[in-house]
Amino acid sequence: MLSDGGGLSALHDLKTLAPSVQVLVHTYRDNPRLLSRSLHAGAAGYVVKGEDKNALLRAIQQVVAGGNVWT
């Protein structure tokens, strides 16, 4: 959690300032509501912490290539 409002607020601000930036949410919260809110805020992906390092690397590569990933 960020001290000034959280990651969703930061995601919204970032996408407002730089809409072409691809954002991958990396969170400890396995929460369908948060996943949905992240998608609507413009995230290109959502990866729950605890996935193996290779899964995170593949997610980053997929987002950089213009794809989406949701775990």
- ∠ at Cα 27 (44, 45), nearest 5°? 10
pLDDT digits (tens, 9 = 90+) for 5-22: 688 889 999 999 999 999
Confirm if 23 and 11 have CB atoms less than 8 A apart.
Answer: yes
Query: 29: which DSSP letter?
Result: -
Overall size of the chain counted in residues: 71
Are β-strands 69-70 and 45-48 bridged in parallel, bridged antiparallel, or unpaired?
A: parallel
- Whole-number pLDDT of residue 19: 94
CB atoms within 10 A of CB 4: 7
* Mean pLDDT computed over every residue of the chain: 89
